[in-house]
């Protein structure tokens, strides 16, 4: 192809869609298997189908990517992952898509020549995250959907790693990998491929006591993405792959979308400078294939906008009936040369796409009767077994001796079969260097108990000020937004409170910005200087971009704490972070008590009180109702109410331009502290978001009573989160 034209990457929920998507113009196909796929409810492919798919795609000079992009529990990763992947690796699988760092570690160690693509579930939003994964050995990162073209271009320019972006299909309202809405509502974890689509449910919106009617019933439902008009601008960013979402979609949708994108990418390939417009029939076709209330490409150009939402109807609408798809391609042309000289060895040679194979036969005998002719042999050679190969006869050359030769047709057929098989194998990428994994299972032994450490996370200056009056021994975590809002007086007040807290010997930690995009880079430098000037004890990070920023700046690894947003789901993931000298991790929120009890919890922090953050979204509910307040310090009471009258508070964090949707009830595990100690946990987190100061004080007092072994009576409504039921 001419110009810098990205790969067109298509989804496949079954083997038939995979084949048709390839024939309709996709350069690569991504698909899931029976295990570990982030679309557990798609048809997916069984092991034999995956092997067949790899061969099918490679014979067509296309690539096969397998999704292994869910969080795995220890028993899954140790018991099944290696044996699941090994046959696909040996068959020549082109890449795996990964979210879990335990999975990443095993694949990197056991399958040395298997490229790893970092899933959008890892929320890579800057060159820092891209460089981090490059340094670990990843070949590609799938960037967050929320990024603009300028951000994408900057990441590509400042990191030496392949990039992939979504170009068409459904959009999540939450940053991928940052959503627990489905798991909390119904136990179906989006991080484990079982998202129930809670963002597509109806909610009412209330802001500062006023119901907002303009939102309609579906304030969290986003329109589908379509970047078809933006292919030229996308190509100019230097992105390597354009990804179509849709492993749950049917063959009509996938092939229709692929064919339209192929048409305009080929147009750009022929003339990269062309200013194309989408033809009206193509646009009509795109709409008829399906969407959620028109399309949007707003993320490419701005932070967020009300036009991105389809608040009236969250259903997927289409105006086309399923069509039978049977597009057949004739195959790659093969030049065939057959030499039959009486008294010499027979030789059959095939040439295709720069590849050449030869199959010798026995010595050729002279014909006693019925001698073969060039015409007859050419006709026999042109018949290729198209059911098993992807070749068609091209130029046929038959070389015969002057003395008429004799060639048994059964021998010719066998030579042809062997030659085609060798030619097929030359297109494949067979491997045989897989290395069996060493066990990373954790066997619990008698605990060597550490001194209990308590961390208290606050959300506003009033809560912070109240902490300064409490005499208990705990560390305080302060969110970066309290330093970054456009209010110098507030910042000075926070710094004064820090001084008061330090006089009581309390350790102070900073919670770094949750979403680390370009606008916070300068703020991050400021925050580091605050940490140094104020003598703070460390930094909590919630994503790989912020983590990489700190590592690049040489920040002390012992002072870095990984929040629950950086999942350390299994023992191999814990060992992976340990290999980077990052030992301060958190117990994942989606593990139940039994799973936690069998986990290595040394140096792990566990949240025992607080509202789970169910979504972290770049869509701003307040802005969509009124206007952007940028970095003003105004606090607003924002609530979503679902069909069951469950009320979800929403916190607006303007410092990194994110809305946090909180669970309707706080999780309270204070009564389980004795069990948690038995499981080797010695670090505990109390997280306060919507609580008033006196309510916060009561929870802290209850916690210390329980720590001392006293019975605690609770008032109010709480949940035990996933501690009781876990997730699928």
DSSP string, 204-264: EEEETTEE-GGGTT-TTPBPEEE-GGGHHHHHHHT-SEEEE--TTS-HHHHHHHHHHHHHH
For residue 34, what are the CA distances in angstroms to 17, 52, 55, 176, 189?
16, 15, 19, 22, 17
How confident is the model at residue 341, as a pLDDT?
Answer: 95
**145 phi-psi bin (left φ>0, alpha ψ -120 to 50, beta other):** alpha
Return all residues near 373 (Cβ < 8 A) that are at least 6 apart.
Answer: none
Q: Can you name the residues that pair with 454 across neighbouring β-strands?
A: 684
* Residue recorded with tokens 């590509």: 156
Distance CA 492, CA 158 (A): 35
Return all residues near 326 (Cβ < 8 A) that are at least 6 apart.
Answer: 20
Residue 364 CB coordination number (10 Å) = 22
Minimum mean pLDDT range among 42-51, 161-170, 239-248: 42-51
How confident is the model at residue 369, as a pLDDT?
Answer: 83
Distance CA 353, CA 694 (A): 75
How confident is the model at residue 386, as a pLDDT?
Answer: 56
Highest mean pLDDT among 82-96, 624-638, 705-719: 82-96
pLDDT tens digit string along 274-287?
A: 999 999 999 999 99
In this structure, are residues 117 and 96 in contact, taking their beta carbons and an 8 Å threshold?
A: yes
In this structure, are residues 149 and 159 in contact, taking their beta carbons and an 8 Å threshold?
A: no
Distance CA 267, CA 261 (A): 10
How confident is the model at residue 304, as a pLDDT?
Answer: 83
| CA 537 remoteness from chain centre | 32
Q: Can you name the residues that pair with 96 across neighbouring β-strands?
A: 66, 116
The mean pLDDT value for 364-368 works out to 90
Tokens of 150: 């300028």
Distance CA 65, CA 164 (A): 13
pTM, two decimals, is 0.92
How confident is the model at residue 138, as a pLDDT?
Answer: 98
**pLDDT confidence bin for 566, thresholds 50/70/90:** very high
**pLDDT confidence bin for 100, thresholds 50/70/90:** very high
SS3 of 489-553: the string is HHHHHHHHHHHHHHHCCCCEEEECCCCCCHHHHHHHHHHHHHHHHHCCCEEEECCHHHHHHHHHC
**pLDDT confidence bin for 372, thresholds 50/70/90:** confident
pLDDT exceeds cutoff 90 at 633: no
Question: Cα-atom radius of gyration of the chain, to the nearest Å?
Answer: 30
pLDDT tens digit string along 430-461?
A: 899 999 998 776 665 545 557 899 999 999 98
Distance CA 317, CA 310 (A): 12
**pLDDT confidence bin for 712, thresholds 50/70/90:** confident
For residue 724, what are the CA distances in angstroms to 194, 588, 590, 727?
19, 14, 10, 10
pLDDT exceeds cutoff 70 at 400: yes
The mean pLDDT value for 207-227 works out to 92
Nearest CA to 228 among 8, 471, 37? 8
pLDDT tens digit string along 469-515?
A: 998 999 999 999 888 876 667 778 888 899 889 888 899 999 999 99
Angle at 222 between CA 217 and CA 226, to 5 degrees: 145
Tokens of 143: 């960037």
pLDDT exceeds cutoff 90 at 331: no
Three-state secondary-structure class, residue 713: coil
pLDDT exceeds cutoff 70 at 3: no
CATH 3.20.20.70 placement within the chain: 7-190+221-308, 453-712
The mean pLDDT value for 687-709 works out to 95
Return all residues near 635 (Cβ < 8 A) that are at least 6 apart.
Answer: 460
**pLDDT confidence bin for 1, thresholds 50/70/90:** very low
Q: Which CATH class is domain 7-190+221-308?
A: alpha beta
Q: Can you name the residues that pair with 641 across neighbouring β-strands?
A: 204, 647
| CA 598 remoteness from chain centre | 27
Nearest CA to 455 among 613, 654, 672, 681? 681
**pLDDT confidence bin for 2, thresholds 50/70/90:** very low
Three-state secondary-structure class, residue 604: strand
Residue spans of beta strands (DSSP E) within 371-422: 391-400, 405-406
pLDDT exceeds cutoff 80 at 726: no
Return all residues near 132 (Cβ < 8 A) that are at least 6 apart.
Answer: 544, 545, 547, 548, 551
Residue 412 CB coordination number (10 Å) = 19
**pLDDT, the chain, mean:** 91
CATH 3.30.70.940 matches 453-712: no
Distance CA 702, CA 696 (A): 10
The mean pLDDT value for 693-703 works out to 95
pLDDT exceeds cutoff 80 at 149: yes
Distance CA 262, CA 481 (A): 44
pLDDT exceeds cutoff 50 at 224: yes
How confident is the model at residue 615, as a pLDDT?
Answer: 96
Tokens of 241: 């792959």
The mean pLDDT value for 52-63 works out to 93
How confident is the model at residue 328, as a pLDDT?
Answer: 64
How confident is the model at residue 583, as a pLDDT?
Answer: 95
Nearest CA to 463 among 472, 476, 453? 476
Residue spans of beta strands (DSSP E) within 538-646: 538-541, 560-562, 585-586, 604-610, 613-617, 638-641
How confident is the model at residue 444, as a pLDDT?
Answer: 56
Nearest CA to 568 among 526, 601, 598, 546? 601
Tokens of 439: 């066990």
To the nearest whole percent, how much of the chain has pLDDT over 70?
A: 95
């Amino acid at each position: 192809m001419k110009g810098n034209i990205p790969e067109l990457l298509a989804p496949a929920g079954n083997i038939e869609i995979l084949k048709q998507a390839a024939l309709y113009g996709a350069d690569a196909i991504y698909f899931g298997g029976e295990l570990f796929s982030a679309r557990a409810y798609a048809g997916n492919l069984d092991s034999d189908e995956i092997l067949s798919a790899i061969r099918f795609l490679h014979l067509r000079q296309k690539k096969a990517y397998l999704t292994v992009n869910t969080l795995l529990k220890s028993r899954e990763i140790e018991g099944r992952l290696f044996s699941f992947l090994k046959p696909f690796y040996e068959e020549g699988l082109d890449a795996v898509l990964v979210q879990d760092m335990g999975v990443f570690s095993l694949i990197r160690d056991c399958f040395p020549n298997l490229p790893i693509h970092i899933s959008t579930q890892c929320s890579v939003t800057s060159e820092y995250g891209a460089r981090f994964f490059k340094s670990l050995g990843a070949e590609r990162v799938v960037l967050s959907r929320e990024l603009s073209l300028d951000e994408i271009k900057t990441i590509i320019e400042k990191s030496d790693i392949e990039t992939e972006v979504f170009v068409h299909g459904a959009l999540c309202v939450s940053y991928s990998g940052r959503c627990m809405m489905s798991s909390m509502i119904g136990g179906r974890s989006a991080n484990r491929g079982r998202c129930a689509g809670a963002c597509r449910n109806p909610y009412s919106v209330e802001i500062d006591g006023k119901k907002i009617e303009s939102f309609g019933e579906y304030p969290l439902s986003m329109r589908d993405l379509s970047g078809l008009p933006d292919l030229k601008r996308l190509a100019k960013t230097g992105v390597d792959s354009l990804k179509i979402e849709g492993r749950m979609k049917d063959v009509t949708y996938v092939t229709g979308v692929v064919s339209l994108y192929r048409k305009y990418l080929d147009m750009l390939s022929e003339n990269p400078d062309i200013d194309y417009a989408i033809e009206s029939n193509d646009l009509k076709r795109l709409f008829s294939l399906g969407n959620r209330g028109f399309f949007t490409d707003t993320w490419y150009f701005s932070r967020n906008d009300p036009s991105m939402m389809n608040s009236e109807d969250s259903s997927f609408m289409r105006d086309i009936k399923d069509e039978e798809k049977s597009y057949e391609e004739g195959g790659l042309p093969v030049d065939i040369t057959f030499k039959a000289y009486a008294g010499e060895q027979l030789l059959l040679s095939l040439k295709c796409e720069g590849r050449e194979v030869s199959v010798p036969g026995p010595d050729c005998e002279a014909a006693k009767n019925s001698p073969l002719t060039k015409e007859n042999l050419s006709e026999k050679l042109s018949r290729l077994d198209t059911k098993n190969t992807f070749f068609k006869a091209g130029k046929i050359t038959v070389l015969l001796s002057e003395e008429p030769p004799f060639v048994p047709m059964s021998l010719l057929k066998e030579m042809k079969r062997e030659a085609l098989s060798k030619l097929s194998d030359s297109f494949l990428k067979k491997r045989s260097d897989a290395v069996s994994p060493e066990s990373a299972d954790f066997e619990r032994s008698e605990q060597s108990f550490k001194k209990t450490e308590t961390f208290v996370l606050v959300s506003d200056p009033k809560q912070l000020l109240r902490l300064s009056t409490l005499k208990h021994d705990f560390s305080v975590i302060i969110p970066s937004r309290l330093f970054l809002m456009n209010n110098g007086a507030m910042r000075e007040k926070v710094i004064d409170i820090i001084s008061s807290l330090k006089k009581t010997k309390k350790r102070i930690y900073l919670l770094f910005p949750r979403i680390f995009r370009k606008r916070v880079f300068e703020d991050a430098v400021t925050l580091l200087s605050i940490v140094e000037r104020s003598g703070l004890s460390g930094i909590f990070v919630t994503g790989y971009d912020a983590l990489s920023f700190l590592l690049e700046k040489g920040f002390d690894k012992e002072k870095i704490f990984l929040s629950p947003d950086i999942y350390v789901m299994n023992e191999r993931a814990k060992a992976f972070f340990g290999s980077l000298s990052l030992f301060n991790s958190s117990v994942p929120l989606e593990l139940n008590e039994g799973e936690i009890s069998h986990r290595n919890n040394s140096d792990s922090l566990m949240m025992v009180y607080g509202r789970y953050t169910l979504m972290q979204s770049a869509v701003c509910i307040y802005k969509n109702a009124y206007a952007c307040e940028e970095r003003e310090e105004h606090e607003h009471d924002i609530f979503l109410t679902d069909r069951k009258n469950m009320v979800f508070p929403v916190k607006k964090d303007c410092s990194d331009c994110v809305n946090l949707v909180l669970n309707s009830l706080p999780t309270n595990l204070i009564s389980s502290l004795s069990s948690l100690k038995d499981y080797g946990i010695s670090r505990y987190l109390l997280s306060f978001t919507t609580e008033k100061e006196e309510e916060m004080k009561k929870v802290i007092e209850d916690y210390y009573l329980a720590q001392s072994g006293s019975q605690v009576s609770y008032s109010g409504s709480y949940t035990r989160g996933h501690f009781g039921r876990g997730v699928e």
